Structure 1
Amino acid sequence: MKKTGKAADRASERPAPSRRRFIGKAAAGTATALSFPMIATAQTPTQLRFQSTWPSKDIFHEYALDYAKKVNDMTGGELKIEVLPAGAVVPAFGLLEAVSKGTLDGGHGVMVYHYGKNQALALWGSGPGFGMDANMLLAWHKYGGGKELLQKVYQAIGANVVSFPYGPMPTQPLGWFKKPITKPEDMKGLKFRTVGISIDVFTGLGAAVNALPGGEIVPAMDRGLLDAAEFNNASSDRVLGFPDVSKVCMLQSYHQNAEQFEVLYNKAKYDALPGKLRAILDNAAEAASADMAWKAIDRYSKDYLEMQTKDNVKFYKTPDAVLQKQLEAYDQVVQKKAEENPLFKEILESQRRFAERATRWDMDTNVNRRMAYNHYFGSKKTSPKKA
């Protein structure tokens, strides 16, 4: 019998038998899920053992720890980098080989420390960079072909590594001396510490050069094995003890005008990581690069002031005549190396092409800060003394 009126309306609103059964089963499933919640299990993080090429007290080792912390934080516990100081596993100059072989999963240093493997590696930081500063050289690396060229160098020497150059360094001092350098001839005969292509440049200026890692420089100066030396910056130089063995520091130089740091990974270890983690490692290098540059401004400026007020260090500007001789010596050195090493020549030409337009743009665009500084703080504080 056909239903009419309100009874028919109520009947039409009821679910069909098959729909009622489906809803009932779904509700039962939901109840079961609510009664027995899933228990999250802790994931064992991937562990990477790093070593820096710096003493534990140096700000450079702090930069290595900063990079590791960014990675550890961003991976949310999936990956953890442990950073050891120089010498914990291998000597500072042995980092590349240790990472390549897998003795270490990665490391933090500078490419110039691999100079003995292929001299082209020193072009990432040693020398005037055709007028580029360190940030501009990193721009060349990422956008001007440097990344691909660096891969070619590492392939040429059989290094099983993945490299992330980062962290632009300010112009490094000429170095620490017993008395001010007033002319190019003052370099002749000095027992001097430097690294990379700078070895050849200072040799060309007449110095007797000895390459030492950072932690060994001041003890060598203290024992008279070195007459003078350069390392890097006000904070590192101060904590390494340079003011204890010298009271004269010559600022501004072309020998390492555009250097940066390098984070290295063993390639097999890196390639085995999930894509998400590899992306974090890459982006962490760029984040750490910016952070390092900002921290350097803060810390270096403080130590620069305190070395003058507390350590009685006298800072002098390197004379233009010495700077010009550096450029001339560098040109002779790289011309010879380019003739001997086609890859060296290729990198040099690539840098030159990029620098010609980028440096011109930079100089034409950015206003000189000295006028503004003099306006607000007075001209007496604007520059180191003339030698």
Structure 2
Amino acid sequence: MKKFAKSVISTAVLAGVAATAFVPVQAADKTLLKTPIAFGSHLPALGTPIVWVSEQLNLVSDGTIRMKIYEPGKLVAPPEILDAVSSGKVNSGYATAGYWQGKMPAAGFFSAVPFGPEAGEYMAWMYYGNGLKLYQEMYDTNGYNVKVIPCAIISPETSGWFNKEINTPEDLKGLNMRFFGLGASVMEKMGVSTSQLPGGEIFGALEKGAIDATEFSQPAIDKLLGFQKIMKYNYFPGWHQQATIFELLVNKDAWGKMSAGQQATVENTCKASMTNSIAEGEAMQFPVMADAKANGVEIRYWNDTMLKAFEEKWGEVVVEKSAEDPFFKKVWDDLNTFRTGYNLWESNAFLPRSR
């Protein structure tokens, strides 16, 4: 895993945005996107990007596109967003594809990949490899009536809050832990019982002892949820989520009624949000980490034994899921081929990672 060169992203993405995103929409019917969201709008880099998108859509479209945001559970519960958009109950929704893994095993590839690409490489595969094509294909072949648009991305998350040191795989066995996405399958192979609690329920579950440990997001977000009040050890790196993509889902019938200019405005505003969201997330983590010790938190970096164990178990997950689901294998093979090629660039162009 090479250190991600943050400044490269803004140049690449904004170049595309500048070319098309700010073309005024003319002679088009007004569109209101009613958008339930999976993350509270108060959560930086998780909920704030879609607020930014809603503001920009109104400005860029000269008022022909508006977005009304509904906080989690106010109109649609987060786990129900995909079905609600597909059925037309609402015409759009904001979530992350990892939520739909129970319906589509490959969904995690379009959310976060264990030992996977950092943000620059992830977007390269998404926009200039086959990522976006496969992303839409996943929804189409499973009968979902949605248009999917990547609409935010954040860089690495922390990979666990614990109340004891974890030095060997045996230290994990028997724990009950909140864990997300494909990484949860890895943790289960490590002997951990996992559940995917929504962010707002994690603190209470820790406090009551319903779970022993958790991961959720980046340090600045975890701090808002109060994990440091209960948990002592915060482990890095985020091997399970080196980058996480968030999606805007639009009902296909509603999408088809929008003009080509309106569609381009939505797509390119979301592409601009990819830049904005990662910049926001990158800027706010180190001050929180600097205060960790004062808050009674010890920052730990996984030792080589643990990282090797996680990676070995991830390899087992890939083999098993590829055998069970042909589309999972199709996406994995494509992503793996892209990453093998990309490694020639990454291994030569970036400075070695140092700690």
Instruction: Please classify the TM superposition score into its range, dividing by the shorter chain length.
Output: 0.7 to 0.9
Shift in alpha-carbon separation, 1:159–1:261, aligned structure 2, 3 A: same
Q: Does 1:49 align with 2:50?
A: no
Alignment TM-score, normalising by the size of structure 2: 0.88
The amino acid of 2:214's aligned partner reads A
Structure 1 residue 262: deviation in Å? 1.2
1:361 to 337, 342, 345: 345
Q: 2:107 aligns with which of 102, 116, 121?
A: 121
TM-score (norm 1): 0.81
Mapped to 2, the partners of 1:292 and 1:273 lie a distance apart of 26
1:344 aligns with 2:328: yes
Q: How does 1:132-281 map to 2 (within 5 A)?
A: 132-281=117-266
Percent identity over the alignment is 27
Post-superposition offset of 1:169: 2.0
Q: 1:252 to 1:337 in 2, by over 3 A?
A: same
Deviations 1:206-241 (A, max 9, x none): 101112112111111111001000011012111111
Give the conservation status (yes or no) of the 8 Å contact 1:171–1:256: yes
The aligned counterpart of 1:91 is 77
The aligned runs of 1:98-117 (5 Å cut-off) are 98-117=84-103
- Matched-pair contact (CA < 8 Å) for 1:133–1:258: yes
User: Partner amino acid for 2:314?
Assistant: Y
Q: Retained in 2: the 8 A contact 1:160–1:266? A: yes
The structure, 1 or 2, with the larger RCO (C-alpha pairs under 8 Å, 6+ apart) is 2
Task: Check the 8 A contact 2:322/2:329 in 1, yes or no.
Answer: yes
Tell me how far 1:301 sits from its aligned partner: 2.4
Letter in 2 for 1:111: A
In the TM superposition, residue 181 of structure 1 has moved relative to its aligned partner by 1.3
Q: Deviations over 1:59-95 (max 9, x none)?
A: 2111110111121111111111011111111221111
In structure 2, how many angstroms separate the alpha carbons of the residues matched to 1:307 and 1:84? Answer: 33
- Matched residue pairs, number? 328
Tell me the distance in 1 between the aligned counterparts of 2:299 and 2:129.
36
Question: Does the residue aligned with 2:240 lie in a helix, a strand or coil?
Answer: coil
SS in 1 for 2:138: helix
SS at 1:185 equivalent:
helix
For the aligned residue pairs, the C-alpha RMSD in angstroms reads: 1.8
Which 10-residue stretch deviates more, 166-175 or 339-348? 166-175
Uncovered stretches (5+) of structure 2, i.e. residues with no partner: 1-27
Q: Distance in 2 between matches of 1:258 and 1:293?
A: 9
What is the identity, as a one-letter code, of the residue corresponding to 2:329?
A: K
The match for 1:11 is none
Q: Per the alignment, do residues 214 and 76 of structure 1 end up closer, same or farther by CA in structure 2, a change over 3 Å counting?
A: same
Q: Distance in 2 between matches of 1:66 and 1:140?
A: 25
Provide, for residues 138-185 of structure 1, a one-character-per-residue CA deviation record: whole Å limited to 9, x for no partner.
211111111111122101221111111243322221210002211221
Letter in 1 for 2:106: A
Between 274-283 and 144-153, report the one with greater CA deviation.
Answer: 144-153
